[in-house]
């Protein structure tokens, strides 16, 4: 049995705020946009973002490393860079695990 995976979008989050909290559509959209803008700005500055019961976003520095062009086999250096990592909270992990979906159930 295959179940199609649903994607939750920012627009859907705004609609949920409109329906459940009673904000008008413009306020709900602005709230969602502001929320993600604040997270984006904090991470761009190198700050950690902790969302209790959800997880932590952190900027990590990756050192330069050797790479390889898969077509030619040519060695190509990969420059140092900053990446965002996410670590789910135990509460989120438990909630996801308790759904009981197996990898086979999630395939499209």
Say which CATH number the domain at 73 has.
4.10.520.10
Q: Are residues 58 and 42 in the same domain?
A: no
**Percent with pLDDT over 90 in the chain:** 83
Average pLDDT, the chain: 91
Q: What average pLDDT does this structure show over 9-24?
A: 94
Do 52 and 96 lie in a common domain?
yes
DSSP strands (E only) in 5-106: 49-51, 55-62, 65-68, 75-78, 81-88
First to last CA, the chain: 10
Assign 108 a pLDDT band (cuts: 50, 70, 90). Answer: very low
Q: Is 55 part of any domain?
A: yes
Residue 62: inside a domain: yes
Residues 35 and 61 in one domain: no
What does the pLDDT read at residue 3? 65
Q: Say yes or no: 52 and 95 in one domain.
A: yes
Instruction: Tell me: do 93 and 56 sit in the same domain.
Output: yes
Per-residue pLDDT at 2: 57
Domain count, the chain: 2
pLDDT at position 107 over 80? no
Angle between helices 10-20 and 25-44 (to 10 degrees): 130
Tens digits of residue pLDDT in 42-88 = 999 999 999 999 999 999 999 999 999 999 999 999 999 999 999 99
Residues 75 and 52 in one domain: yes
| 105 lies in some domain | no
38 and 52 share one domain: no
pLDDT for residue 102:
62
**79 in the same domain as 35:** no
Q: What are φ and ψ of residue 62, in 5° steps?
A: -105, 130
* Whole-number pLDDT of residue 105: 57
- Burial class, 11, CB count within 10 angstroms (exposed 0-12 / middle 13-18 / buried 19+): exposed
Range of the domain at 32: 7-46
Predicted pLDDT of residue 5? 86
């Amino acid at each position: 049995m295959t179940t199609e995976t649903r994607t939750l979008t920012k627009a859907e989050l705004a609609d949920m705020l409109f329906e459940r909290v009673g904000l008008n559509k413009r306020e709900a959209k602005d709230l969602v946009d502001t929320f993600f803008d604040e997270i984006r700005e904090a991470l761009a500055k190198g700050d950690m973002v902790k969302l209790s019961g959800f997880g932590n976003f952190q900027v990590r520095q990756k050192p330069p490393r050797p790479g390889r062009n898969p077509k030619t086999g040519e060695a190509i250096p990969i420059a140092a860079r900053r990446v965002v990592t996410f670590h789910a909270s135990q509460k989120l992990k438990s909630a996801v695990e308790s759904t009981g979906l197996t990898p086979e159930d999630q395939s499209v």
